[in-house]
Structure 1
Amino acid sequence: MSKFYYFVLLLVASSLVNAQQDDGVIEEIVVSSVGQKTANEIISSIDIIDHTSLDRGINQNIGEILEKTIGVDNAALGRAVGQPVIRGLSGYRVKVLENGLSSGDMSENSGDHPHALNALAISRVEVLKGPAALRYGPFSNSGVINMLSEHQLIDENTQSGGDILFGNSSVAKENSVHFHSLLRSGNWFVGLSGHKRDGKDYKIPGYEETEALHAKHEAEEEEEEEEGHPHEEEVRVKGTAKSTALDEQGLNFHTTWLGNNNKFTVFLNSSESLFGIPGHEHEEEEEEVITLDMERTRSGFEYVQDINGFFNEFSFNSAFTDYKHGELEGKETALSYANKAQNIRMELAYGSDSSNGVIGYSFDEDDTTIGGEEAGYIPSSKKSSKALFIVQNIERGNLLAEGAIRLENNELEAVGAKYSKISKNNNSFSVGTGLKLTEEALLGFSLAKNSRAPSISELYAEGKHLDAGIYEKGNASLKNENSTALEVYYRYSSDSFSLKASYFNNDFDSYIYRQTTGAKINKVPVIQYKQQGAKISGTEVELNFAPMTLGNFDISNSFMITNISGELNGGGYVPRMPPMNYQYTVDAMSNNWMYTLRYRHSEKQDSLALNEMLTDAYNRVDLEVVYTTNFGMTVSLLAKNLGNEDIRNHTSWLKDKLPEPGRDYNLSVQYSF
């Protein structure tokens, strides 16, 4: 803990030095929140990842892209799956949206299921934390990740254009291609994009298993042999992460009419992928590879209409998703999921610049069918969620205020005589206020009460979950997960630098979590869902310096540090809490060249939940060089994990069985027109 406060003091000291040396200007970004206010004028915290940054992450999953954002960690399960973790929370507590609506896949159901959308088809990502997150669900104590497609950002200034992008990753011999085009004719826009990505098993610096887990396995094997149970000698894998190959592709189409006071869009997306599921026991050389075969088709339409009167805008957003995936053992389908989802959102915006808000209704329905030889893991089900919500912003002089209320009803009907229909009301609210100390400084706090209904996995799981490599046991007696969240923050923005600092505390009276019991069924580890009080708290500090001129270079620096802890009431730690980490990034620009050096340090995690293993600290260095020509071509070389470190993230359920990729050289070439 002392290192944390020492590092904060260094940040403050360095900010004073740079404030005297730099005359640059950091432009405030207008975010797509209620009222279209600037970042310093809203209570909720918003981080934005632009299209350029997304293109440069051509060989990365969503978790890898977002882990550079403060307060966000990556719970990776190979190259294909990267589950974002916001302030120590993940799964059903963090919502990944596609244009404001649920993606209709099974990613929330388990950490080994990917988000079935392509980051390259996205034009911008917004990470929203605070009261405004209640607009999308009971997430004001965690956060919402909204993936915005191109058609969401079309306005009267949008012109025809496009690009084609090629990428190669050395660590997995992976090749990627992406194309995008937008044609405008008067008020009509037509967009088409597609991608193809394929790679082999990725390379790692050492062994798949940690030394601690390997020693544990050897001890268990010796004990079994002493009891008269002969055991096949374990094959310890080194140098390559087995079953991490992937092959994915997709197409995205939209057409938009932009009128003087309205906008109408129709879209159709299709994607499919086949990738390995890593982290399983390898007791025999020829053990069959476990893979996941996924397909998703998504269509819908959006309509926005300006109106006169108390309400000034009406919007309607819909999506209809047909999703399926099979978990394959060799060529046999051991478990299959099929989900048909409907998602609808209607909103009315009202008010002026000083007092504005939005009132809305959302409806989500999922009809999920489970099949295959191991279909007993969770039952087929039908679930629905209906919600009314209102978000209100008020500005009076130097005082800002934001409030939100969400009234939600959730119904779950599992297939089977032993299951009864469940209906739960989950009401949440959040309030926040901020005081402008000066034109540059804002001090504020927010308070939220959230209620979340338990999921079908948490309630009814009972059986081997093949791709996760665990035996899950649900808990039908689980009640609503209720929490009270408090955040205090300080923001400062000047021509020289910007500073964001916050302290947050989430107090759960009924936290639902997965506990590793230590028992095994047919050699498969048993995971039990439990519920008890818990407290998750932490501190975030982010410091960005405006560019300063040094010779022929414009140099900018940024620092980021996060420290989170999670404790269960009555003793013990919350599982899979990220350790303290900090990151330093320096960018240097000169004419057509840009150089980026990023250093990330993650402390060891020794605040362990029951049956968890220690995760070692690591240092990661990434270096990127980008050259942009005068005729629309950009060439980028990104070297990731230059030190070839054995990197394991404590947030991942496979962290003891699967490290992150080793040294990786990513080359990309983009031509824009």
Structure 2
Amino acid sequence: MCNFKWRSFSLSIGLSLGVRLFAQEGVSDAMNTVELKPHVVTASPFVTEVEELVVPVSELAGGELDRRAVSNLGATLDGEPGVHSTYFGPGAGRPVIRGFDGDRVRILNQGTDSHDVSQTSPDHAVSIEPMFAYDIEVVRGPASLLYGNAAIGGVVNVISKELPRERALRPISGEFEASYGSVADEKVGGIALQGGRGRFAWSLGYMDRSSGDIEIPGFAESIYQMEAEERDEHDEHDEHEEEEHEEHEEEDAAFGVLENSFVDTRSGYVGMTWFGDAGSLGFSYSKYETDYGVPAHSHAHEHESEEHDDGDEFHEEDEEHEHGEDGVTVDLDQSRFALRGELINPIDFIESVELDFSYGDYRHAEIEDEVVGTVFDRDGYELRLTAVHRPIGGFTGAFGLQVTDESFSAVGEEAFIPSNDTSQYGLFAVERLNRPWGAWEFGGRVETVDVDPVDATIYGKSFTTGNASAGFVRRVGESAAFASNLTYAERAPNASELFAFGPHIGTQSFEIGDSSLGVESSVNLDLSYRLTAGKLTGEFTVFYSDFSDYIYMRFLDHELVEGMYGELDTDGLNVFQATPADARFYGYEVDLRYHIIDEADRTMHFDLLIDQTRATNERFETNMPRIPTRRIGGRYEYAFGPWVMGVEGRYNEAASHLAPNELPTDSYFLWGADLRYRIQATETVTVDLFAVGSNLGDEEARPHTSYLKDLAPMPGRSVKLGVRTRF
């Protein structure tokens, strides 16, 4: 249960903001109203220009976001520098930043937690609809100073349309979008409205997405997976039995369609904000519901069927699913409430105070053969209070507190994590010393983390983490800047790493935690060179992270398992145990744009993206698993009059640095094209007709970052046609 005193504290802060805000209402007219900042940079509470930041940040917004928004957040951001996706089919995909995923990358909605369970397993969806975002900001590298120890690898902050951040220019405006995608018979429709009058602004939105199983270029299983299964069968059967199995595989191997990859999503929101003379106060309520299939999720249960259902033959093709295939489906439902307030100049020393509060009530059920197998519940809140002080002797800065309290439970056959309550309390401060040549920046944070299992026989754990950073940004002439940031970051182990024990079918493994784990720590260095003006703009970045006691899931062979746990029933799954080790992550990112034509009525540019991450386990002198391979991409875009056209390609190298028990991944090249035509219907109404082609070469693509890379390739050739109207 959430701590009542902190709920009362957050409510009292919100009420005090409202009382002060509304008490000032009669002082002046609406034209003097203070507005929320329309542009937010997640990496800093007081710097709004990306080129002035000491940390590398990328932003996806505008027409580029419209073109790339798909059914999950990971796939939407895949292609940003240093960002990939866990890809668990169209229904679930979480961003991977520089090889970090799970509980090392924080996913935020409007600056606070997304309140889902996507960090516990890659087959769990992020409960954010990309179609409702107007800006997605990515901090690459440790952001734990501002957002807590779980942001040791980076932060993704989705600034959505739910909460009005500025006064309405018209009583009502909005946009409507409808599209059809060929690869999965996908139908999408959504509307977002906003408006207001005087000091009051409101927002309202709803969308519906429905898609069937996706088409794929070849077999669902990779050649390496097939070879591995043949070797296993050869070890377990005589030659005659092996031949019969191969014949059965040839008959039943999935080809051309990725079974159980459908997605049905409904999402909506309502929000309103009041703008007063001393600040603003707003709130929003959102609802996110989705049903999606988890490809290959039931694959691991084959062991169980063979071992425990003796004499009872089981064939997937004998069962009927409402979407045409048997398998595990996820029924997800979340309600989320958010509150945001800002006071301007509340006292002489303080320039502004911002309150961000959210509460989420999340539940999802995993269903197989129309039977609920496991139910995951999470409810809790997060509160952030940030104050920006006035300049003092050249220093500007901010300080604040963050409180998170949540309850998690999992009930059923895949409840490998015990139910628990987790609370975090953090204090942070960051200071910036502006100089004629640029700026220095320093910061620190201290945080306590308590993980308390509901089961009284399991002892809870408490941790205290510390974070510190020092960096600078230096202008180089009028069109370039150099930035450097050195951080020390710590992360406390989560409940899964501490207490997990049981089959985790989402990762096809039997996971074992270690309650003796301590805090992992890292020293991190980012160096960036930015080109901010001229024909060539963009950023070059190199990074290095040196971890002590990095917690990872170590593969245990049969002899180790038997020696440590005796005869352990693992359901035939590979066994992994949370283990500390020294580790190193390093790499580079190149994100450039060459402006060929930049005129009022036409533009032409070429974008270049190159990134690579390497990660090594220094304790065992091996490679870390699922690290993204080198990627090289380019995009050509030409806009003239009402037309915008683009062609792009992306090459991912084969995986050559494999972790133990990891299968190889082949290289692949994806290319696409898009076309948009804009009709200016009236002075305020535009209609965009668009077509987007993806993987036009129908290439088999398997991201090395995916747990399902050998069971579920990315979609094949796809063409999406649609219309988008703004008024």
TM-score surpassing 0.5?
Answer: yes
Query: Could you list the per-position Cα deviations for residues 202-228 of structure 1 after superposition, in whole angstroms to 9, with x for gaps in the alignment?
Result: 010001111111011122123222399
Provide the residue aligned with 2:573 in structure 1. Answer: 524
Provide the residue aligned with 1:10 in structure 2. Answer: none
Provide the residue aligned with 2:625 in structure 1. Answer: 575
Provide the residue aligned with 1:490 in structure 2. Answer: 529
* Per-residue deviation, 1:316: 1.3
Q: Does 2:156 align with 1:145?
A: yes
Provide the residue aligned with 2:474 in structure 1. Answer: 435
Whole-angstrom CA distance in 2 between matches of 1:132 and 1:655: 29
SS of corresponding position for 2:237: helix
* Per-residue deviation, 1:174: 0.9
Q: Does 2:638 align with 1:627?
A: no
SS of corresponding position for 1:82: coil
CA contact (8 A) 1:513 1:575 kept: no
Query: Could you list the per-position Cα deviations for residues 350-404 of structure 1 after superposition, in whole angstroms to 9, with x for gaps in the alignment?
Result: 13496322111111111112212443x1111100111001122221110311222
For residues 46-445 of structure 1, the aligned pairs below 5 Å read 46-129=57-140, 134-138=145-149, 142-150=153-161, 154-156=165-167, 158-159=169-170, 160-226=172-238, 233-234=248-249, 235-280=252-297, 281=299, 284-286=315-317, 288-307=326-345, 308-352=347-391, 355-375=395-415, 377-445=416-484
Query: Could you list the per-position Cα deviations for residues 498-554 of structure 1 after superposition, in whole angstroms to 9, with x for gaps in the alignment?
Result: 131111100001111123446593333333322200000001112112241699953
Query: Could you list the per-position Cα deviations for residues 26-62 of structure 1 after superposition, in whole angstroms to 9, with x for gaps in the alignment?
Result: xxx9846332442222212221111433333353321
Query: Could you list the per-position Cα deviations for residues 118-164 of structure 1 after superposition, in whole angstroms to 9, with x for gaps in the alignment?
Result: 11222211112357652112367521111112355622475441011
Whole-angstrom CA distance in 1 between matches of 2:162 and 2:700: 41
Superposition TM-score, scaled by structure 1 size: 0.91
Provide the residue aligned with 2:310 in structure 1. Answer: none
| Partner amino acid, structure 2, of 1:575 | P
Deviates more, 1:158-167 or 1:229-238: 229-238
Whole-angstrom CA distance in 2 between matches of 1:534 and 1:546: 40
Which sections of structure 1, spanning at least 5 residues, go unmatched?
1-28
* Per-residue deviation, 1:469: 3.3
Query: Could you list the per-position Cα deviations for residues 463-520 of structure 1 after superposition, in whole angstroms to 9, with x for gaps in the alignment?
Result: 1224443322222222111111011221122222213111110000111112344659
| Partner amino acid, structure 2, of 1:390 | A
Provide the residue aligned with 1:648 in structure 2. Answer: 702
Query: Could you list the per-position Cα deviations for residues 542-585 of structure 1 after superposition, in whole angstroms to 9, with x for gaps in the alignment?
Result: 21122416999531111111121111114100111111111111
Query: Could you list the per-position Cα deviations for residues 239-296 of structure 1 after superposition, in whole angstroms to 9, with x for gaps in the alignment?
Result: 1111111111011010111122211112111111111111242963436411111000
Provide the residue aligned with 2:647 in structure 1. Answer: 597
CA contact (8 A) 1:141 1:485 kept: no
Count of residues in correspondence between the two structures: 644
Whole-angstrom CA distance in 2 between matches of 1:527 and 1:485: 27
Change (3 A) 1:335 1:132: closer
Match of 1:538 among 576, 587, 597: 587
Which sections of structure 2, spanning at least 5 residues, go unmatched?
1-38, 303-314, 320-325, 559-568
Whole-angstrom CA distance in 2 between matches of 1:38 and 1:549: 22
Whole-angstrom CA distance in 2 between matches of 1:424 and 1:229: 54
* Per-residue deviation, 1:668: 1.8
CA contact (8 A) 1:334 1:373 kept: yes
| Partner amino acid, structure 1, of 2:605 | S
Whole-angstrom CA distance in 2 between matches of 1:82 and 1:186: 41
Whole-angstrom CA distance in 2 between matches of 1:217 and 1:253: 51
CA contact (8 A) 1:334 1:466 kept: no
Provide the residue aligned with 1:612 in structure 2. Answer: 662
Change (3 A) 1:510 1:497: same
CA contact (8 A) 2:152 2:490 kept: no
Deviates more, 1:287-296 or 1:99-108: 287-296
| Partner amino acid, structure 2, of 1:99 | Q
Provide the residue aligned with 2:487 in structure 1. Answer: 448
CA contact (8 A) 2:521 2:547 kept: yes
* Per-residue deviation, 1:109: 0.9
Structure with more of its chain in helix, by fraction: 2
Whole-angstrom CA distance in 2 between matches of 1:659 and 1:482: 35
Deviates more, 1:250-259 or 1:148-157: 148-157
* Per-residue deviation, 1:413: 0.6
Whole-angstrom CA distance in 1 between matches of 2:53 and 2:571: 53
Deviates more, 1:495-504 or 1:237-246: 495-504
SS of corresponding position for 2:194: strand
| Partner amino acid, structure 2, of 1:279 | A
For residues 467-486 of structure 1, the aligned pairs below 5 Å read 467-486=506-525
| Partner amino acid, structure 2, of 1:356 | T
Deviates more, 1:521-530 or 1:473-482: 521-530
| Partner amino acid, structure 2, of 1:243 | N
Whole-angstrom CA distance in 1 between matches of 2:90 and 2:333: 17
SS of corresponding position for 1:521: coil
Provide the residue aligned with 1:6 in structure 2. Answer: none
| Partner amino acid, structure 2, of 1:526 | V
Whole-angstrom CA distance in 2 between matches of 1:360 and 1:492: 33
Change (3 A) 1:552 1:34: closer
Superposition TM-score, scaled by structure 2 size: 0.85
CA contact (8 A) 1:128 1:143 kept: yes
Deviates more, 1:519-528 or 1:291-300: 519-528
Whole-angstrom CA distance in 1 between matches of 2:419 and 2:141: 34
Provide the residue aligned with 2:636 in structure 1. Answer: 586
Provide the residue aligned with 1:662 in structure 2. Answer: 716
Change (3 A) 1:74 1:131: closer
| Partner amino acid, structure 1, of 2:331 | D
Whole-angstrom CA distance in 2 between matches of 1:360 and 1:628: 45
Change (3 A) 1:501 1:359: same
Report the RMSD for the aligned CA atoms in angstroms. Answer: 2.3
Provide the residue aligned with 1:563 in structure 2. Answer: 612
Whole-angstrom CA distance in 2 between matches of 1:546 and 1:130: 28
The share of aligned pairs that are identical, in percent, is 27
CA contact (8 A) 1:131 1:432 kept: no
CA contact (8 A) 1:514 1:575 kept: no
Change (3 A) 1:168 1:148: same
Deviates more, 1:216-225 or 1:331-340: 216-225
Provide the residue aligned with 2:305 in structure 1. Answer: none
Query: Could you list the per-position Cα deviations for residues 599-623 of structure 1 after superposition, in whole angstroms to 9, with x for gaps in the alignment?
Result: 1111111100001011111111011
CA contact (8 A) 1:131 1:431 kept: no
Provide the residue aligned with 1:20 in structure 2. Answer: none
Whole-angstrom CA distance in 2 between matches of 1:227 and 1:214: 17
| Partner amino acid, structure 2, of 1:254 | G
